[in-house]
């Protein structure tokens, strides 16, 4: 099948190359982009046997990753815990420092051990393949992706940093209050395993610990979803209803028949959520081992956003049935979820009860959103910036893991709870690294979704702060969204962005995100006024506490003072 496709692509390219297409003056016109697509033969000049070898390594890595299991901390005889179904649940609910540390380490050790050798082969072969296509290395090829082009990454990271540091300082103090002095220094990095997520990329899972107010101010509806015994299918139906309420398309009959939205009991399955386009105009599918909680409810919207995009651009030639860039694809469902997550909306759909909106609940809501969205930005940035450097050789093999932790320290202020060495290769514990999936798209998607949200809110006639906007039932907003999505990859992404912003900007920007979180930023600066902002650490490969388990700095006066000073649980207004 793959050979037949390559043959067809080679023939088409040969035919297309007979035209003098490179002489077109306007490089952005459809026909030029079409030629570019047909002639982008990827690895066709790479020797077929090497290409097969690389494909085999990649598929073996995916398979091994999807089957990886570890033993339970509570019962060492139970050794069938998988990442998405079991470990995710434990990370969400366990507040036992040692159990979390055990799981964190086991998952890394297991995946590293199984995948490291293959990753090194993949590294070499991917570089050879990329060079056969005229790139300097595979990282160079990754960087040529549309979503990376014309993006001022460093500037964006700088813009986000002050807000991130405030969130970090606040979180650290709350975690110290919860777990105690011997684990976390008040001016140090945060141990990566106690943030409720295997990769610490979102911290909203520990909102119970971080909530500055009483439980009643929590905008998390997980408990209500579980109390109602909600089924995954209901979560999907609610998501579909949101999209149709703004005039977008319902899911097809094939979608409901062929999607897998719960983990089959008798089968191993790649549980990482994904959306599929079978390109026949009706067969679209989602594969997801849905759990019933609010985080998963957002992921359902995320995945359905991919399907919405597929449906919107289905009228175009196959060459243009793609997102304007991959970041756009990641942003569609998340944009809608920004409305869905507002307390106002959750009340409308009766998932949030007895919740009064006031300045405290506003801050609680914004904090929870920041723990999902802002925290994610440095995390999503480093996966690929690390890979780009690994592929180029700027990070040599013998220090790949140390450099990884240096980056996690520098950009995220996180540290590993147990010492990591260069025998380990921790990025491999992440699905996207083990399966050769580029990650920068999520960084772009997380900024774009706030740009889309702002544009759609304006179109819907929303008045008031951006974080209170809910575009539910706004056909006007839906129409503008569709207008952009229907373009697929027909035009360069900047043009697509201009459509939704009505020419206000064609740049990827952090401004709407910063505007959204402005009230939280002010509140955090006030709350953190006596806090050390930032983090110090001399060794990024282990948390300070892990080297001196008695906590060399744990009982230092500075911490005790801090504790007395800030142990001030706020009450609701």
Residue 322 appears among annotated catalytic residues: no
Closer to ligand X8Z at the Cβ: 210 or 273? 273
Q: Is 53 among the residues known to form the active site?
A: no
Contacts of 84 (CB under 8 A, 6+ apart): 263, 271, 272, 289
Q: Does 240 qualify as catalytic in the annotation?
A: no
Evaluate whether 243 touches 336 at the Cβ level (below 8 Å). yes
Active-site residue flag, 306? yes
Task: Give every CB contact of residue 38 below 8 A, 6+ residues apart in sequence.
Answer: 9, 12, 13, 16, 319
The residues, ordered by sequence, that sit 6+ positions from 558 with a Cβ below 8 Å of its Cβ are 186, 187
Residues ≥6 apart with Cβ < 8 Å to 60: 118
Q: Which is nearer to ligand X8Z, 126 or 429 (CB)?
A: 429
Name the binder of 112 from Zn ion, ligand X8Z, none, CB < 5-8 A by kind: none
Site string for ligand X8Z, 361-400 (x = CB under 6 A): ----------------------------------------
Q: Cβ closer to Zn ion: 298 or 520? A: 298
Question: By CB under 6 A, is residue 273 in contact with ligand X8Z?
Answer: yes
Residue with tokens 């609610």: 238
Catalytic: which of 432, 446, 462, 467? 432
Task: Identify the sign of the CA torsion 482, 488, 492, 494.
Answer: positive
- Look up tokens 């920068």; give the residue: 440
Task: Closer to Zn ion by CB, 321 or 528: give it.
Answer: 321
Is 432 assigned a catalytic role? Answer: yes
Minimum CB distance to Zn ion, residue 404 (Å): 24
> What span, in angstroms and rounded, lies between the C-alpha atoms of 230 and 235?
8
Residue 442 contact partner, candidates ligand X8Z, Zn ion, none, CB within 5 to 8 A by sort of partner = ligand X8Z
Q: Quick one: what does residue 274 bind among Zn ion, ligand X8Z, none, with the CB cut-off 5 to 8 Å set by partner type? A: ligand X8Z
| Smallest separation (angstroms) from ligand X8Z to the CB of 302 | 6
- Label residue 15 exposed, middle or buried (CB < 10 Å: 0-12, 13-18, 19+): exposed
Shortest distance in whole angstroms from residue 337 CB to ligand X8Z: 11
Among 43, 66, 147, 299, binds ligand X8Z (CB under 6 A): 299
- DSSP H or E stretch at residue 365: helix 359-373
Interacting residues toward Zn ion by CB under 5 A: 330
User: What track of x and - describes contact with ligand X8Z for positions 428 through 447 (by CB under 6 A)?
Assistant: --------------x-----
Q: Which residues contact 275 (CB under 8 A, 6 or more apart)?
A: 284, 285, 286, 287, 303, 304, 306, 307, 310
Nearer to ligand X8Z, 143 or 302 (CB): 302
CA atoms within 13 A on the CB side of 309: 31
Active-site entry in 68, 130, 181, 273: 273
- Give bridge partners of residue 508 from the DSSP assignment: none
Closer residue to Zn ion in complex, CB, 173/432? 432
Of these residues, 106, 303, 412, 545, which one is catalytic? 303
Distance CA 492, CA 151 (A): 13
> Alpha carbon of 60 to those of 50, 266, 420: distances in Å?
15, 22, 25
Per the annotation, the verdict on 272 as an active-site residue is: yes
The item of ligand X8Z, Zn ion, none sharing an interface with residue 368, based on CB under 5 to 8 Å by kind, is: none
| Annotated catalytic residue within 84, 240, 296, 330 | 330
Catalytic residue IDs? 272-273, 302-303, 306, 330, 432, 442
- Residues near ligand X8Z (CB under 6 A) are 273-274, 299, 302, 442
């Amino acid at each position: 099948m793959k050979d037949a496709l390559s043959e067809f692509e080679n023939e088409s390219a040969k035919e297309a190359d007979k035209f003098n297409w490179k002489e077109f003056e306007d490089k952005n016109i459809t026909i030029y982009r079409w030629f570019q697509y047909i002639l982008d033969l990827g690895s066709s000049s790479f020797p077929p046997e090497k290409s097969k070898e690389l494909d085999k390594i990649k598929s073996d890595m995916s398979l091994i990753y999807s089957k990886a299991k570890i033993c339970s901390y509570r019962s060492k005889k139970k050794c069938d815990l998988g990442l998405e179904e079991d470990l995710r649940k434990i990370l969400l609910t366990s507040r036992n420092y040692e159990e979390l540390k055990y799981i964190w380490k086991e998952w890394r050790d297991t995946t590293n051990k199984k995948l490291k050798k293959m990753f090194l082969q993949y590294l070499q072969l991917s570089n050879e393949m990329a060079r056969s296509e005229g790139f300097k290395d595979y990282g160079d090829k990754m960087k040529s992706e549309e979503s990376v082009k014309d993006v001022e990454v460093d500037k964006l990271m700088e813009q986000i940093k002050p807000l991130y540091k405030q969130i970090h300082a606040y979180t650290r103090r709350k975690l110290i209050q919860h777990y105690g002095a011997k684990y976390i220094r008040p001016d140090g990095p945060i141990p990566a395993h106690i943030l409720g997520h295997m990769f610490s990329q979102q911290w909203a899972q520990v909102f119970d610990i971080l909530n500055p107010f009483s439980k009643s101010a929590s905008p998390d509806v997980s408990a209500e979803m579980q109390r109602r015994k909600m089924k995954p299918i209901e979560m999907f139906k609610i998501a579909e209803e949101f999209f149709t309420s703004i005039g977008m398309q319902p899911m097809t009959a094939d979608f409901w028949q062929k999607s897998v939205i719960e983990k089959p009991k008798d089968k191993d399955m790649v549980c990482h959520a994904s959306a599929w386009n079978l390109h026949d105009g009706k067969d679209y599918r989602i594969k997801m081992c849905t759990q019933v909680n609010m985080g998963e409810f957002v992921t359902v919207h995320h995945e359905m956003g991919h399907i919405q995009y597929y449906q919107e651009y289905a009228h175009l030639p196959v060459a243009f049935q793609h997102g304007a860039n991959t970041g756009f694809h990641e942003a569609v469902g998340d944009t809608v979820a920004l409305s869905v997550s507002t307390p106002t909306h959750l009340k409308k759909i009766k998932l949030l009860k007895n919740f009064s909106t006031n300045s405290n609940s506003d801050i609680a809501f914004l904090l929870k959103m920041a723990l999902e969205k802002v925290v994610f930005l440095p995390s999503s940035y480093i996966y690929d910036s690390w890979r780009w450097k690994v592929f180029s050789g700027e990070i040599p093999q013998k220090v790949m893991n140390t450099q990884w932790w240096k980056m996690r320290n520098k950009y995220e202020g996180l540290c590993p709870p147990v010492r990591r060495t260069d025998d380990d290769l921790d990025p491999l514990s992440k699905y996207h690294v083990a399966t050769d999936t580029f990650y920068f798209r999520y960084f772009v998607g997380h900024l774009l979704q706030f740009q889309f949200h702002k544009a759609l809110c304006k179109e819907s006639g929303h008045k008031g702060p951006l974080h209170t906007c809910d575009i539910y039932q706004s056909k006007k907003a839906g129409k503008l969204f569709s207008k952009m999505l229907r373009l697929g990859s027909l035009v360069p992404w900047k043009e697509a962005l201009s459509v939704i912003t009505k020419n206000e900007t064609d740049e990827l920007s952090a401004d709407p995100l910063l505007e959204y979180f402005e009230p939280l930023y002010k509140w955090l600066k006030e709350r953190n006024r006596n806090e050390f902002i930032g983090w110090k650490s001399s060794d990024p490969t282990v948390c300070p506490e892990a080297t001196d388990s008695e906590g060399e700095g744990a009982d230092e006066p500075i911490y005790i003072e801090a504790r007395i000073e800030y142990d001030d649980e706020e009450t609701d207004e």
